[in-house]
Homo-oligomer: A and B are copies of this chain.
Amino acid sequence: MKLNKNQDTHIVIVGLGLIGGSYAEALTRRGYTVSAVTRSQSSVDYALQRGFIAAGAAFPDPELLQKAELVVFSLYPHTLLQWLQANQHLLRPGALLTDVTGVKGSTVYAIQDMLRPDLEFIAAHPMAGKEVCGVQNADAAIFQNANYIITPTERNTPEAIATCRELGEELGFARISCLSPEEHDDMIGFVSQLTHCIAVSLMTCTECEHLVDYTGDSFRDLTRIAQINDEMWSELFLMNRDPLLHNMQRFIDEFERLKDLVAAGDREGMRQMMQLAAKRRKLFNRPGDKNQ
């Protein structure tokens, strides 16, 4: 299939949370017919009222699912597999399925293994979010400036990869790229999960409530993501355990090395490390970033 606004492509979002709701908003704005299937009626009502969706149901409505040529799953990883086991018989033959899950190796192959042969699942990870959840916080603007990563396997068709790329473009992502599930998981273990582990540990390593009046921006910036959805992230950590542990150890080793330099008073060693960090970090700056 190809996305086609004029021929009225039907898209169903399964799971109307922060990300699912933001997909719905963005795709409706782009002219698609978007409906949603989720757990709570109040999320459906909110999305209808805001005009994010044309129709919705608080159960896996066969009528909506039968119409959908594209289904986007915005669910917790374990729920996604359960949902498909229970409901894949309701999906339209030939439908393309995609997701927004933050871990890939432990999900993609299992899903592709159990899927009806007339359906195709192409995994993707929109690297965008907020420190709040729920459709009430949905906002299509979070995709601007963000990265969209497609993680195809050998079982995916070139057509599905192309449609998934088109979806990322329609959502407004700044950069769209492809990685293998394994490359994705190692990368995410480093840039996303490790950083959340650091932020959490920084907030819990000492009683720090009294420091509110003394902090500068550095501490706030490093701990912003400690406002974490513990249900989701504990699941993501465990589903990506080996790459995460590997990256945690890599960070500990380097942090211990810096600590040894400080303890030894090795100013030249510290400066070399700082210079490398500063040089590398400049590559990550974007136009308009704070303090550039």
Binary contact readout A223-258 vs B (1 if CB under 8 angstroms, 0 otherwise): 111111011011101100100110111111111111
Majority secondary structure, A binding face = helix
Check if A276 sits within 8 Å of B197, measured CB to CB: no
Within 8 A of B (CB), among A103-146: 127-132, 146
A209 contact set on B, CB distance < 8 A: 280, 283
Check if A190 sits within 8 Å of B208, measured CB to CB: yes
> What number of copies of this chain does the assembly contain?
2
Chosen A-B contacts, 21 in total, with CB atoms closer than 8 Å, are A129-B216, A177-B213, A177-B214, A191-B216, A197-B255, A197-B259, A199-B222, A200-B258, A201-B257, A201-B277, A202-B251, A203-B276, A203-B277, A205-B255, A220-B289, A224-B291, A226-B274, A228-B274, A234-B270, A245-B259, A252-B252
Q: Is A50 an interface residue (CB 8 A)?
A: no
Q: Is A16 an interface residue (CB 8 A)?
A: no
Q: Which of A5-13, A21-29, A56-64, A261-269 contacts B (4 or more CB under 8 A)?
A: A261-269
Binary contact readout A270-292 vs B (1 if CB under 8 angstroms, 0 otherwise): 11011111101111101001111
CA–CA, A184 and B90, complex, Å? 63
Check if B146 sits within 8 Å of A216, measured CB to CB: yes
Check if A231 sits within 8 Å of B271, measured CB to CB: yes
CA–CA, A262 and B227, complex, Å? 19
The count of residues in chain A whose C-beta lies closer than 8 Å to any C-beta of chain B is: 94
A248 contact set on B, CB distance < 8 A: 255, 258-259, 262
Binding site for B on A (CB under 8 A): 127-132, 146-147, 149, 175, 177, 179, 187, 190-192, 194-206, 208-209, 211-228, 230-231, 233-235, 237-238, 241, 244-245, 247-259, 262-263, 265, 267, 270-271, 273-278, 280-284, 286, 289-292
Q: Determine which residue in A213, A249, A278 has the highest number of CB atoms from chain B within 10 A of its CB, and name it.
A: A278
Given A204-B280, A282-B227, A237 contacting B187 (CB threshold 8 A)? no
